[in-house]
Amino acid sequence: MAYHCEICNKKTSHGFNVSHSNRHTKRVWKPNIQRVRARVDGKVKRIYVCTACLKSGRVDRAI
Are 33 and 2 in contact by the 8 Å Cβ rule? The answer is: yes
**Higher per-residue pLDDT: 46 or 1:** 46
- pLDDT of 1 above 60: no
Looking at residue 2, its pLDDT comes to: 67
Q: Which domain holds residue 4?
A: 1-63
Q: Alpha-carbon distance 47 to 1, whole Å?
A: 11
The CATH number covering residue 5 comes to 2.30.170.40
pLDDT in tens, 5-63: 999 999 999 999 999 999 999 999 999 999 999 999 999 999 999 999 999 999 999 98
Looking at residue 63, its pLDDT comes to: 81
**Number of domain units in the chain:** 1
